Amino acid sequence: MVGNPQSMFEYPLKRLASLRAVAKHGLDAYCLAPQQRLWVALLLILLLKSKPTESHRYIVGDNEGWTYGVSGWQNGKVFYHNNVLVFNYEAGIHNVVRVNRQEYETCQPKPSSKTYNSGHDEFKLKRGMNYFICGVHGHCQLAGMKISINAH
């Protein structure tokens, strides 16, 4: 049964009044105790922090670093453009070359491609595909030192 006309209008009016109260008093209108408000704030911070942000940094290969067999480390991870890839490796043993798709697939960097060999090199991801290989002979082709990353 639908109630009498008075109760039909009662709810929208109450709702309007509560909206007006929210506009006027903010969260106070929801009667949140200061402690509850703290939890709401913490929850919001957690939600915002859990999403990889622009400043997110990835250590390529995690504890192993940039080394033989690193290919596949990127699987299952979500990357965004401007995320930073950190390549840690033993200088003199490996290096890093940022390459295009063809160079990646053939493991043949162009002579003009810049080779990084400090042992600790950082690269910002561009939107789309990013390719990196080790330029030491055989490491890309035979030892899986190549990664391709799609950044959102």
Give the binding site for Cu ion (CB under 5 A).
94, 134, 136, 139, 145
Instruction: Return the biggest CA–CA distance within the chain.
Output: 86
* HSE (side-chain half, CA atoms, 13 Å) at 7: 4
Closer to Cu ion at the Cβ: 145 or 149?
145
Measured torsion, CA atoms of residues 141, 76, 91, 101, in degrees rounded to the nearest 10: 40
**Nearer Cβ to Cu ion (98/139):** 139
- State in angstroms the smallest separation of the CB of 132 from Cu ion: 11
**How near is the Cβ of 129 to Cu ion at its closest, in Å?**
21
- Between residues 125 and 134, which has the closer beta carbon with respect to Cu ion? 134
Our measurement of the distance from residue 126's CA atom to the centroid of its chain's CA atoms, rounded to an integer in Å, reads 13
Task: Give 125 or 139: the residue with its C-beta nearer to Cu ion.
Answer: 139
- Concatenating the DSSP letter of every residue in 106-121 gives HT---TTSPEE-SSEE
Of 130, 126, 128, 133, nearest to 87 (Cα)? 133
Q: Which is nearer to Cu ion, 32 or 143 (CB)?
A: 143
Q: How far is the CB of 94 from Cu ion (least distance, A)?
A: 3
Least distance in Å: CB of 66 to Cu ion?
8
For residue 8, the one-letter residue type is: M
**108: alpha, beta or left, given left = phi > 0 and alpha = psi -120 to 50?**
beta
User: What's the min distance (Å) between Cβ of 84 and Cu ion?
Assistant: 21
